[in-house]
Amino acid sequence: MTGVGVAVALLVTLSGAAWTARAATVAILPPPRPLAGSQPFATLLCKFAGVAVEPVSISYFDRLMLEGPESLDQYWRAMSSGRINVAGSQAFGWFAMPHPPRVYRNNEPDSAELEALARDCSAAADADVDFTRFTGINLVFNECLLRPRGGEMALTLDGVRRRFRVLWLCPGASAAHQIVAHEMGHSFGLTHSTDEDGDEYGNTWDVMSVAGYCAGESDFGLLAQEPIAFNKDLLGWIPPERKFRSPGREARTIVLDAADGGTGYLIAEIPLGRSRMYTVEARVRAGFDDALSTSGVLIHEVDFRRQNKARLVSPQSNRAGDVAGMFGGWSAGATFDDAVSGVSVRVDEALENGFIVTISQGTTPAQIVRSGGPVRLAPHASGQRSSASSPICGDETRN
């Protein structure tokens, strides 16, 4: 930073709603914008002065980012339909921080001097790391001062000042696949979604909300589920021809696909005036979604005026106490009706890779003529098939 009066030299995006801007620090979210291409991350392992332990290895992060079908490289390739990857990522360390942990603590709960942590860790690595190769930096400290964070920050490295995607991590659960994916999502500009009650850590269907419910286990800890379709669309990962926009006053029956590869829609949007809409998407237990509690159609009420824009709309009968939202999907035969807006979403049939739904707005489903081309129906047992992975439900992690 170059001195007094430069108010926003620093761009830090924080994952928690509790983050508040402090003097001389402006915390903002980078606007989510279409994201494509390689996004290599340098992972820097940094040791605090006076803390000798090295609780995690560079090989763990090299594997987490790049090795095997569960790596974050494969995860982001799948989530973006091949638009992004993290090829070229590499871990380095350990590097010596100039100060002990107490220097980076502050008086706020679950908070620390994020900018100083980032500056000192990256500066310690600057002689050994060619940062021109990377768009992102994972900062991994040998002691956890706060919950993980992800965002964006300007740093001067290799003599050049530019913005990096930055994650603040530490060993243990904070280094798990699901957590790192969530924080990477923040660094791409995504905010949390919420469950029906507005809990930003309560939407089990979104990697950008819950980390820890119903996740598969792997060598990398809990595996990330997918982002909701609204988040994929914010990053430009849903092509226009795979996006259905309700024409209003005209009911339509469409095929919603859970994954790329078919010909159905990947998201349906039902406009509700200028700043709100419903989104409808299919989610099927497969791939990174294998540990979801069930397959289902998701409905989100999106309000672009909220920081956490997407709110899950759950069937009342499917809500489950303190884990509301966990079963918030709509299954075949269910109908969502919004009397205020006249919107109706009826789930007609489960398919192998999605659902057939009928969307109407101010009209009646009886007028509907089915469209959407040939479809393959799901085997009857598909909703009950057991997962190859071991779902862990209820081990909550907030970050």
Q: How many CB atoms lie within 10 A of CB 92?
A: 16
Cβ 265 to Zn ion shortest distance, Å: 28
Tell the burial category of 379 from Cβ atoms under 10 Å away from its Cβ (0-12, 13-18, 19+): exposed
Cβ 15 to Zn ion shortest distance, Å: 3
Cβ 194 to Zn ion shortest distance, Å: 12
CB nearer Zn ion, residue 85 or residue 191: 191
Cβ(186)–Cβ(211) under 8 Å?
Answer: no
Nearest residue relative to Zn ion (C-beta)? 15
Cβ 130 to Zn ion shortest distance, Å: 30
CB nearer Zn ion, residue 15 or residue 344: 15
Cβ 314 to Zn ion shortest distance, Å: 21
Q: For Zn ion, how many residues bind (rule: CB under 5 A)?
A: 1
Cβ 212 to Zn ion shortest distance, Å: 12
Tell the burial category of 59 from Cβ atoms under 10 Å away from its Cβ (0-12, 13-18, 19+): exposed
Q: Would residue 236 be called left, alpha or beta, if left means φ above 0 and alpha means ψ between -120 and 50 degrees? A: left
| Closest to 287 measured CA to CA, from 266, 258, 265, 307 | 258
Instruction: Give the contacts of 349 (CB within 8 A, at least 6 positions apart).
Output: 332, 355, 356, 377
Is 142 one of the binding residues for Zn ion (CB under 5 A)? no
Cβ 201 to Zn ion shortest distance, Å: 8
CB nearer Zn ion, residue 168 or residue 244: 168
Cβ(139)–Cβ(97) under 8 Å?
Answer: no
Residues within window 5-24 making contact with Zn ion, judged by CB under 5 A: 15
Is 209 one of the binding residues for Zn ion (CB under 5 A)? no
Cβ 199 to Zn ion shortest distance, Å: 13
CB nearer Zn ion, residue 144 or residue 259: 144
Q: What's phi and psi for 60, nearest 5 deg? A: -60, -45
Cβ 14 to Zn ion shortest distance, Å: 8
Cβ 148 to Zn ion shortest distance, Å: 8
CB nearer Zn ion, residue 125 or residue 167: 167
Is 174 one of the binding residues for Zn ion (CB under 5 A)? no
CB nearer Zn ion, residue 201 or residue 278: 201
Interface residue list for Zn ion (CB under 5 A): 15
